[in-house]
Amino acid sequence: MLKTQSWNYFQQHCLHIPELGMSIDTSRMNAPDNLSDTLREKFNIALEKMQELEKGAISNPDENQMVGHYWLRNPDLAPNESIQKQIISTLEKIQQFALEVHQKKIKPKNSTKFRYVLSLGIGGSSLGPQLIQSSLGSHEEHMKFYFIDNTDPDGIDRTISSIGKGLSETLIIIISKSGNTLETLNAMIEVREYFNRAGLDFARHAVAVTRETSQLAKLASKEKWIRCFPMWDWIGGRTSILSVVGLLPAALLGQNINNLLGGAKIMDELTRSTKIKENPAALLAWMLHHAGGGKGQKAMVMLPYKDRLCHLSPYLQQLVMESVGKEKNLKGKIVNHGLTVYGSKGSTDQHSIGQQLRDGPDNFFVVFIEVLKDREYLSIEVEPSVTSGDFLQGFLLGTRDALFQKGRASLTITLEEINPQTLGALIALFERAIGLYANLIGINAYHQPGVEAGKLAAADIIKLSIKILNYLKTNPRQKFDAVTISDAINESENTETVYKLLQHLAANQRVLKFPEKVQFASFFQAYN
């Protein structure tokens, strides 16, 4: 006999959103029925701050920036006419560009049309487009997408190999807000070399998405790339999916971007309500706060039971963890707050992590994503009176019940189907929920000092690698171990790093390695 809850209780704790074909069921989150006075007061402040943000307040104090991704789906909210016009004009340019590509008015030099898109980006500049492509792409789509989202040489080679002879029909989109994102620029240089080897004019295939004043924008202008679309300072990478970053891929897929923006706009409007139980984002933020005690004490496990949403979890990892994973709050107090997100998709995760979720430590809550519509046409029966889609829902509801039997918390978001409108609404729901949650706990959701620290540290490592190579080149035909090299270049405190860099250089035939019986005593020499 299944452990169940009353029908009335479910109805009381399931928010139905008919205008979006969506519902949010919090009945299994083990949350109190009502907000405490303290939390109610915090919500009032959080909602006020969200209003101020939408009006153009400096909501990212560390970088002295406005936060304007909500203006993208409603330009009337923009704080001035200039920003308003920029948004509207850019949307028109995206739609016109995609139309001209599909009509073959914009085409490669050596082919009748662009058939493929190769997107180069990292973080939000790739996670967003990948979510768009996986969610809205189909076998009837106008163009096939490929992604390079790392600076891994082998990964680049494999992607280009997958495109194969289609390189001459490939449109390249290079996405970097700053215009100097190293992973993306490295990929661009590598891809350009492939084009050169194939006798293709890279510029005739290239589109930039970047700040209008960036070095990438200047390069695009100098080389006369096909287009250069803008990114604005008031849009952060993790909230850029409904800017050019995600809308351009959607338009090239043949999707109506107005529907994508429209779904987000409706969700934005619903989430301005001061009635917490009727406000989808506030309700979700409440559950996040309750589950983790306001301190992120439990992980959020994302289980979308739909292949189209396989990129939702990695997308939300950045949105959530980069937004609320912070050392200090807005008052400068050390809080080391975080909210871990993991998960892939159902029913795969039932076989990989389901055992621990039910019987292991109770240090998580699950967010199930249920999609009612299986496919565009009627399914065959794989067993009498049962389709493969019936099994998928059975696995979702069964896993949900199995967790409930053990008192494990879960929340279920139900969508009637996946389409541009519902995807836009889902994106907006999590964007606003995380914004409200950050306000509840008093942190800056819109900066990323940890990411910047990692970039600076990586730059130092590259400088060290260059120092090592220069030292070996200036001492040709001489062998040195890691300790000797470290001392010689005044990096004795970083001998471990020097050794690891030498290992990498040797593995890639950039220095000679002379192994010793003791691994760490190996000698290295510059190539003659």
Separation between Cα atoms, residue 263 and residue 251, nearest integer Å: 16
Q: What is the pLDDT at residue 57? A: 95
Separation between Cα atoms, residue 185 and residue 194, nearest integer Å: 14
Query: Distances from the Cα of 310 to the Cαs of 102, 119, 138, 299, 434, in angstroms?
Result: 27, 18, 14, 19, 20
Separation between Cα atoms, residue 196 and residue 132, nearest integer Å: 30
Asked whether the beta carbons of 486 and 471 are under 8 A apart, the reply is no
Q: What is the pLDDT at residue 517? A: 84
Domains of the chain in start order, with CATH, are 7-56+263-447 (3.40.50.10490), 69-255 (3.40.50.10490), 450-526 (1.10.10.10)
List residues bridging with 526 in a β-sheet.
Answer: 511
- The residue behind tokens 């409904």 is 242
Residues of the chain with pLDDT under 70: 1-4, 139-141
Q: What is the pLDDT at residue 496? A: 97
Q: 126: cis peptide before it, omega within 30°?
A: no
Q: How do residues 380-412 score in pLDDT, each as one tens digit? A: 999 999 999 999 999 999 999 999 999 999 999
Report the catalytic residues: 322, 351, 455
Q: How do residues 145-201 score in pLDDT, each as one tens digit? A: 999 999 999 999 999 999 999 999 999 999 999 999 999 999 999 999 999 999 999
Q: How do residues 90-131 score in pLDDT, each as one tens digit? A: 999 999 999 999 999 999 988 999 999 999 999 999 999 999
Q: For residue 172, how far is the Cα from the chain centroid?
A: 20
List residues bridging with 171 in a β-sheet.
Answer: 117
Q: Identify the DSSP state of 211.
A: -
Whole-model pTM?
A: 0.95
DSSP letters, 28-83, are TS---SS--HHHHHHHHHHHHHHHHHHTT-EEETTTTEE--GGGGG-GGGSSSHHH
Q: What is the pLDDT at residue 140? A: 67
Q: What is the pLDDT at residue 2? A: 47
